[in-house]
Amino acid sequence: MKRRVCIGTSSFGSYDERPLDLMREEDLTWDLNPRGRRLEGPELVEFAWEAVGLIAGNEPLDESTLPYLKRLRVISRCGVGLDNVDLDVATRCGIRVFNTPSAPTPAVAELTLSVTLSLLRHTSWMDRDLRAGSWKKRMGHLLRGKRVGIIGFGDIGQEVARLFQVLGCSLGYADPREIDSDLPARRLGLRELLEWADIVSVHISGGGREGPLIGEFELGHMRQGAWLVNLSRGGVVDEDALAASLSSGRLRGAAIDVFGEEPYSGPLTGYDNVVLTPHVGSYGLEARVDMEIQAVRNLIEGLRIWDEA
């Protein structure tokens, strides 16, 4: 009998058949996410209760779901972070967990550069003006010469640094580890980085569950007129505190791709100097397909290990 796999991400296989072809070759059968959005706990249990494998998105994989998925043996996270997976519970339930740490890197880094340039040159703002019938030229800022502080200096943070280095920026980073890199980036403490940087870009691999990394206190230590970019995790930035910093004029603008609650409809939607995107950091077609292929290969490897155990 074919083994059943459930796919939690909302658009898996939509852009390229190769990930699905790999599963066909392994004689796997699969069910796609029926709701086209993040599955909540009871929805996930109902969806995946017979599955031996799960290609996961951002659904909760913890005490509220994993003990009820009695047949599940492999979780293959289609993405970098594992903050939605309780690894202790997974281990207790005998479930192997994989992720795809390298595939999204170029897509997230390029989107970071894109939204930063949009912030500095008011591209999105002027687009809205023009569509509303207003021919208004807004003076922007050059990226060249800016101090870019990167919070989280893993693969994505370093790729972001490479792109900004080419465009003439000074680089600093805050990370719990001293990173061995050929990039000319200074390691700074978090507060020191916030006080130093013109642009702060967040790329931590986890966080948000124990409260925001960037809250009212941290925003208060950013340079007057700085910009904040978050393409890492929802909940890492206190969105209400960010709105207050924008209202006061302390921050000049922000770009946010991830939110504590998604879909997002909060106060940041009312600011023209904010670029908002709907959690699309990995949505560069080539990177997205590569990530899905890696997720399937990880799933197959996990099932192979289970078969041989």
144 with 176, same domain: the answer is: yes
Indicate whether 111 and 46 sit together in one domain.
no
User: Alpha-carbon distance 190 to 203, whole Å?
Assistant: 13
Mean of pLDDT values over 283-295: 94
Q: What type of residue sits at position 247?
A: S
The residue from 17, 216, 262, 286 that is catalytic is: 262
Q: Is the pLDDT of residue 200 over 70?
A: yes
Q: Are residue 255 and residue 125 in the same domain, yes or no?
A: yes
What's the angle, vertex CA 243, arms to CA 268 and CA 104, rounded to 5?
60
Residues 236 and 110 in one domain: yes
Residue 208's pLDDT is what? Answer: 56
Q: Are residues 110 and 250 in the same domain?
A: yes
Domain co-membership, 81 together with 134: no
Asked if residue 268 and residue 195 are part of one domain, the reply reads yes
pLDDT of 305 reads: 94
146 and 208 co-located in one domain: yes
**pLDDT classification of 37: cutoffs 50, 70, 90:** confident
Name the domain count of the chain. Answer: 2
> Residue 250 catalytic?
no
Q: Does the annotation mark 262 as catalytic?
A: yes
Q: Which helix (H) or strand (E) holds 172?
A: strand 170-174
Kindly name the residue from 3, 73, 233, 252 that is annotated as catalytic: 233
For the domain that residue 20 is a member of, what is the CATH number? Answer: 3.40.50.720
Q: Which of 96, 203, 279, 288 is catalytic?
A: 279
Using alpha carbons only, what angle is made at residue 66 by residues 65 and 69, rounded to the nearest 5 degrees? 95
CB neighbours of residue 2 within 10 Å: 10
Residues 73 and 131 in one domain: no
Q: Domain limits at 72?
A: 3-103+285-308
Q: Is 233 marked active-site? A: yes
Same domain, 134 and 84: no
pLDDT on residue 2: 76
Confidence of residue 209 (pLDDT cuts 50, 70, 90): low
pLDDT tens for 236-273 read: 999 999 999 999 999 999 999 999 998 999 999 999 99
Q: Are residues 290 and 262 in the same domain?
A: no
Give the model's pLDDT for residue 32. Answer: 95
b/e burial code for range 76-98 (CB count within 10 A of at least 16 → b): bbbbbbbbbbbeebbeebebbbb
In this structure, the answer to whether residues 120 and 191 fall within a common structural domain is: yes
